[in-house]
Amino acid sequence: MAGGILQIDLDAVARNWRALDRMSDPCVQTGAVVKADAYGLGAARVARTLAHAGARRFFVAIAEEGAALRAALGEGPEISVFSGHMEGDMALIRDSALTPMLNSPEQIARHLESLPDHPFGIQLDTGMNRLGIEAPDWASVCSRVLENGPILVMSHLACADEPDHPMNAAQLAQFRAMTDGAGVPRSLSATGGILLGPEYHFDVTRPGIGLYGALPFAEAEPVVRLSLPVVQVRDLAPGETVGYGCSFTAEGPARIATVSGGYADGLLRALSGRATLFAGDRPCPIAGRVSMDLITVDVTHLSEAPATLDILCPAQGVDRLADAAGTIGYEILTSLGPRYARRHAGGAA
Ligand SMILES: *Cc1c(COP(=O)(O)O)cnc(C)c1O
């Protein structure tokens, strides 16, 4: 078996959720964002674990994810859909009891016409210019919408991972201006916003990345370990080269381990010659280019070639690997491919 093994510590996910939950007042509800298959870690297992830990509100990006999540969670928890009510979503929203976060006057009309008694929320744009109803449109539809009893009014911060960015206060002020006095539960903050402090918390928070052990939640517990089996080991004479483009040359006698895993598995080609794998706590640098299915690693300094090398482990978390690839932890996690055997430990079945 040559596939990599992705270990996912569900108890750590639950502890991260509780830690984020403790950062807001007890009357603030802490939700959980499990879009993109819980950032690549398995939405069904993660969501059942968090429901067991006390989460009652889950968020996904599209209705199809919501339907799969409803099948995993059963009746009860609220499942909200950020993309709102798209054409063709009516049956999914109705049959899976999803709550669309309506993003435009057009979506509001579609929802109230096709499912007049079905719960919905509203997403407002407070400056990010990505999703949500803009202030002038909100002013004209607000009273009609509020008569229909939205269960949540939300917006999203563009720069919450930069606490000093003036956009945070600007969006907070805009959110207040658009929602003060509406008498509807409100939500503004994802992981970054929770860390900005109580004025950003409102009634419901929506952490994603912090649950999965990455920045901006610096105190998060690591959740994943990724171990790649060594398929072959070879000794090189000085001057021999390794891999596509011959980008690594052995300066002296060298030993190269070839591990199973490559850019088709989310180990980005940008890691070529830059990232490190680990034999326990001993760093072993990548030698040459990451290819589709394989990575070549310099293990010259090890007394024995190991059976596996880790690319995500306590010595190298998601954010450190992201740095090496010039990206963010979110992209590392959501790129983790389908070829890994996902082994969930702890949590709820
Ligand atoms: C993805 C997302 C979240 C979660 O963000 P994190 O930074 O992962 O905590 C919350 N709200 C919205 C609207 C999102 O798109």
For residue 207, the CA-to-ligand 1 centroid distance in Å is 6
Please report, for residues 58, 72, 110, 222, 292, the alpha-carbon distance to residue 22 in angstroms, rounded to integers and kept in the order given: 18, 26, 38, 18, 42
Whether 18 is covered by a domain: the verdict is: no
Indicate which residues carry an active-site annotation. Answer: 35, 244
Backbone angles phi, psi at 257, to 5 degrees: -105, 130
Is the beta carbon of 156 within 6 A of some atom in ligand 1?
Answer: yes
Q: Are residues 337 and 239 in the same domain?
A: yes
Same domain, 145 and 269: no
Please check whether residue 120 lies inside any domain of the structure: yes
Residue 153: per-residue pLDDT: 98
Q: Spell out a b/e string for 142-164, using b for 16 or more CB atoms within 10 Å of the CB, else e.
A: beebeeeebbbbbbbbbbbbeee
Is residue 287 within 8 A of residue 298, CB to CB? The reply is: yes
Q: What is the pLDDT of residue 347?
A: 84
* Torsion over CA: 205, 207, 210, 214 (sign): negative
Task: Provide the β-strand partners of residue 260.
Answer: 294
Question: Are 161 and 47 in the same domain?
Answer: yes
Distance of alpha carbon 247 from the chain centroid: 33
Q: In this structure, is residue 123 part of a structural domain?
A: yes
What is the pLDDT at residue 272?
A: 96
Asked, for residue 106, whether it belongs to a domain, the answer is: yes
> At 229, phi and psi to the nearest 5?
-70, 140
Mutate to test the pocket of ligand 1, among 39, 206, 217 (most ligand atoms within 8 A of CB): 206
- Whether 340 lines ligand 1, by a CB cut-off of 6 Å, is no
pLDDT 10s digit of each residue in the chain, 349 long?
Answer: 889 999 999 999 999 999 999 999 999 999 999 999 999 999 999 999 999 999 999 999 999 999 999 999 999 999 999 999 999 999 999 999 999 999 999 999 999 999 999 999 999 999 999 999 999 999 999 999 999 999 999 999 999 999 999 999 999 999 999 999 999 999 999 999 999 999 999 999 999 999 999 999 999 999 999 999 999 999 999 999 999 999 999 999 999 999 999 999 999 999 999 999 999 999 999 999 999 999 999 999 999 989 999 999 999 999 999 999 999 999 999 999 999 999 999 987 7
> Which ligand 1 atom is nearest residue 206's CA?
10
**Residue 212 CA, closest ligand 1 atom number:** 8
Q: Using alpha carbons, select from 175, 189, 177, 31 the residue that is nearest to residue 99.
A: 31
Asked if 147 and 247 sit in the same domain, the reply is no
Domain count, the chain: 2
Amino acid at 184: V
| Residue 288 backbone dihedrals phi, psi, to 5 degrees | 85, -160
Q: Which atom of ligand 1 is nearest to the CA of 209?
A: 8
Q: Whose CA is nearest to atom 12 of ligand 1?
A: 156
Here the tokens at position 263 are: 């850019």
Asked if 325 contacts 332 with a C-beta cutoff of 8 angstroms, the reply is yes
Model pLDDT, residue 305: 87
Let me know whether 184 and 249 are in one domain.
no
The CA 326 to ligand 1 mean position distance, Å, reads 21
Q: Is residue 5 part of a domain?
A: no
pLDDT of residue 1: 82
Tell whether ligand 1 has an atom less than 6 A from the beta carbon of residue 206. yes
Residues 285 and 161 in one domain: no
Q: Which atom of ligand 1 is nearest to 216's Cα?
A: 7
| 82 in contact with ligand 1, CB cutoff 6 A | yes
CB 126 within 8 A of CB 175: yes
Q: Name the residue at shortest CA distance from atom 11 of ligand 1.
A: 190
Ligand 1 pocket test, pick from 29, 82, 157, 318 with the greatest ligand atom count within 8 Å of Cβ, gives: 82
Q: Which residue range is the domain that position 161 belongs to?
A: 31-211
Local structure of 258: helix, strand or coil:
strand
Closest ligand 1 atom to the C-alpha of 330?
Answer: 8
Give the Å distance between the CA of 206 and the centre of ligand 1. 6
pTM attached to this predicted model: 0.97
Residue 334, both tokens:
């959501």
- Residue 206 and residue 108 in one domain: yes
Per-residue model confidence (pLDDT) at position 3: 93
Q: In residues, how long is the chain?
A: 349
How many of the other CB atoms lie within 10 Å of CB of 264?
Answer: 14
Q: What is the pLDDT of residues 3-47, one digit of tens each?
A: 999 999 999 999 999 999 999 999 999 999 999 999 999 999 999
Identify whether the C-beta of residue 19 lies closer than 8 Å to the C-beta of residue 219: yes
Whether residues 171 and 284 share a domain: the answer is no
Residue type for position 72: A
Q: Is 39 helix (H, G, I), strand (E, B) or coil?
A: helix
Question: How many angstroms separate the CA atoms of 263 and 290, rounded?
Answer: 7
- Kindly state if the Cβ of 191 falls inside 6 Å of ligand 1: yes
Residue nearest to atom 13 of ligand 1 (CA): 156
207 lines ligand 1 (CB under 6 A): yes
Q: Is the CB of 57 under 6 A from ligand 1?
A: no
CATH number, residue 113:
3.20.20.10
Q: Would 265 be classed as within a structural domain?
A: yes
What is d(CA 129, CA 267) in angstroms, rounded to the nearest whole number?
Answer: 31
Q: H or E element: which one contains 64?
A: helix 63-73
Mutate to test the pocket of ligand 1, among 29, 33, 128, 157 (most ligand atoms within 8 A of CB): 33
- Calculate Rg over the CA atoms of the chain: 23
